[in-house]
Structure 1
Amino acid sequence: MPETKKIALLIDCDNVSHNSIEGVLAELAKYGMVNVRHAHGDWNSPSLSGWVTKLHPNAIRPMQQFAYTKGKNATDSAMIIDAMDLLHSKTVDAFALMTSDSDFTPLVLRILESGMPVYGFGEKKTPQPFVDSCSLFIFTENLSVDREEKLDSPQLQLNKKTKNELRQDSGLVRLLRAAAEQTAEDDGWSALGRVGSYISNNSSFSSINYGYKKLGDLIRASELFDIEMRNGGTAMYIKDNRK
């Protein structure tokens, strides 16, 4: 049985909302165990009061960073140092950065050079360079917890894109078609697993950003491909349905 991947989650509390932390942790559980959970910020600041209520229930360690100079973001520097210390400690196998700040793009690239994936989580205002640099990036607005539910039962509030909305996203359409084409077998059909692997290796795509928990559900909704279920209905294969 393969060893569980150990993930370090570093949170830039100055630049991301606390409302989606449960959803972020639930998403990361798909990829491994989040054994490091550090939340960076000036905990004397009233603006972090929402984060304070999230620390203990989610086993997150607050990392204090005083704002020594007005106008300078000391939190960014502290978080980068923390990440580099963890990288060189060789105690984690992957990183998750929860921030909406593009200043962390060089950090992402440095971690990727070390052979570790970087899972990014940020608000929709996050600059594109940071989004594109991550191994996978999910907008935190898509990982919010229903306030009527208990905190230990996160419910993703997914706003599903319609068929027309998916088809109008030219970047998405190109990515899906390229993935199917590059992974096609001799009969022209592509196994969904190989399609997903191709996409993961070539983009920061996540189906959750389009309102779908699974890639297969998004592909069905787009109606861009013919679909065939094989191996007793357990394996999905797709083929471009353009004539």
Structure 2
Amino acid sequence: MIEDRIALLIDADNVSAKYIKPIMDELSKYGNITYKRIYGDWTSPYNLSWKEVLLQNSITPIQQFSYTYGKNATDSAMIIDAMDMLYTSELEGFCLVSSDSDFTKLASRLRENGKLVIGMGEEKTPIPFRKACDIFTVLEVLLEDSTMENTEKVQAAASSAKELKHSSVDVVKNQIEEAVIKIIMENQNDNKETGLGEVGSRLLKLYPDFDVRRYGYSLLSKFLETFPKLKLKQDGTKVSVMLYEDKSRKDLLEEYILQQIKNAGKQGVSLGTLGNRIRNRFGDFKVHDYGYSQFKSYIQSFRDVKIEDDGEQNWAIYVKNMES
């Protein structure tokens, strides 16, 4: 099997030499690195740390003098080379290593031409550049992953989990859970199972900088198992991701809803009122947790319950109340 050919282009002005080994190791997962180039002013003392690293990894340094103070000539040279490669070389992908947002347009252009764009940069990398890439990896995560011993990883994961409880990463984690639930719901509507591989692929499209290692895990499956609303099912080598149903809670909820509709008599109860009552009783109620994208569809699924529209709002009515 022929591996995809990838060009590695590094902005030496915005990346430290200490990241080169993790970069090379990570990029090897995606294919064969055909071009390995790094751009910078090699007359500058700030770039001396790169010399030994470049020799060891056979990376070609491209000299770019800083012609004008405050102007980044390195960015321009790297962009020009990338465009030349796009039209003259048979490459499947590009890896742009920089913490600079100046490469956002380049990443977008390469993707428009059907190329895989892998971005790598430090935590400070601006969001626009991250989003412009198919995949974005934080270099600090790569460095930590490649240098820590297994025992240190366990300790770091435990301590970071405590630190993340009240941090912004927790919000992102909640967003990821909601995104996975939505993916499962969409597949359920089409009578399709949701494979672990599909979840990983879809998450990368939604969040190009998504990486389970940021949460202290090495496998996506282990990461997803931490979400209370999700469960994994393995059948041979196939792993599916499913919604976890709390049977006792589900039964209590359905019993409560049906009782509210019955007690409303022949007129029934408006869906707005019913929804408010449910949220007051079951604070974290979300209809998609129960396999539906709309509250109306969920209520319609109850036996002996029908929905009537009076032109202003929808009403849930217990059919047997109308017969009495």
Per the normalisation by structure 1, the TM-score is 0.86
Structure 1: segments with no counterpart, 5+ residues: 147-153
Report the equivalent of 1:19. 18
Residue-pair matches, total = 233
Correspondence for 1:216 among 209, 213, 221: 221
Correspondence for 2:197 among 193, 199, 208: 193
Q: Point out which structure has higher relative CO (alpha carbons under 8 A, 6+ apart).
A: 1
The answer as to whether partners of 1:55 and 1:62 remain within 8 angstroms in 2 is yes
Report the equivalent of 2:207. 203
- One-letter amino acid of the counterpart of residue 219, structure 1: L
Establish whether residue 85 from structure 1 lines up as the match of residue 90 from structure 2.
no
Q: What is the aligned-residue identity percentage?
A: 37
Structure 1 distance, partners of 2:213, 2:187, is 22
Shift of 1:130: 0.7
Cα displacement string for residues 135-190 of structure 1 (whole angstroms, at most 9, x for unaligned residues):
011110011168xxxxxxx4467654639747542332233323333344877742
Structure 2 distance, partners of 1:185, 1:195, is 16
Report the equivalent of 2:107. 108
1:238–1:142 distance in 2 versus 1, CA, 3 Å: same
1:44–1:52 distance in 2 versus 1, CA, 3 Å: same
Query: SS of the counterpart of 1:144?
Result: helix
1:57-136 matches, cutoff 5 A? 57-136=56-135
Cα displacement string for residues 172-224 of structure 1 (whole angstroms, at most 9, x for unaligned residues):
22333233333448777421122223223443133233333332222123344
- One-letter amino acid of the counterpart of residue 184, structure 2: A
Structure 2: segments with no counterpart, 5+ residues: 245-288, 291-324
Q: Which moved more, 1:52-61 or 1:118-127?
A: 52-61
Structure 2 distance, partners of 1:156, 1:184, is 40
Query: SS of the counterpart of 1:34?
Result: strand
- One-letter amino acid of the counterpart of residue 201, structure 2: S
Structure 2 distance, partners of 1:9, 1:90, is 13
CA RMSD, 1 decimal:
2.4
Structure 2 distance, partners of 1:176, 1:20, is 31
Q: Which moved more, 1:52-61 or 1:117-126?
A: 52-61
Establish whether residue 236 from structure 1 lines up as the match of residue 235 from structure 2.
no
1:151-190 matches, cutoff 5 A? 154-155=146-147, 160=157, 162=161, 165=165, 168-169=171-172, 170-184=174-188, 189-190=193-194
- One-letter amino acid of the counterpart of residue 95, structure 2: A
Shift of 1:25: 1.2
Report the equivalent of 1:51. 50
The answer as to whether partners of 2:176 and 2:203 remain within 8 angstroms in 1 is no
Structure 1 distance, partners of 2:148, 2:136, is 16
1:185–1:162 distance in 2 versus 1, CA, 3 Å: farther
Shift of 1:240: 2.3
The answer as to whether partners of 2:96 and 2:117 remain within 8 angstroms in 1 is yes
The answer as to whether partners of 2:195 and 2:238 remain within 8 angstroms in 1 is yes
- One-letter amino acid of the counterpart of residue 53, structure 1: E
Structure 1 distance, partners of 2:161, 2:134, is 26
Shift of 1:49: 1.8
The answer as to whether partners of 1:179 and 1:199 remain within 8 angstroms in 2 is no
Q: Which has the larger radius of gyration?
A: 2
The answer as to whether partners of 1:121 and 1:139 remain within 8 angstroms in 2 is yes
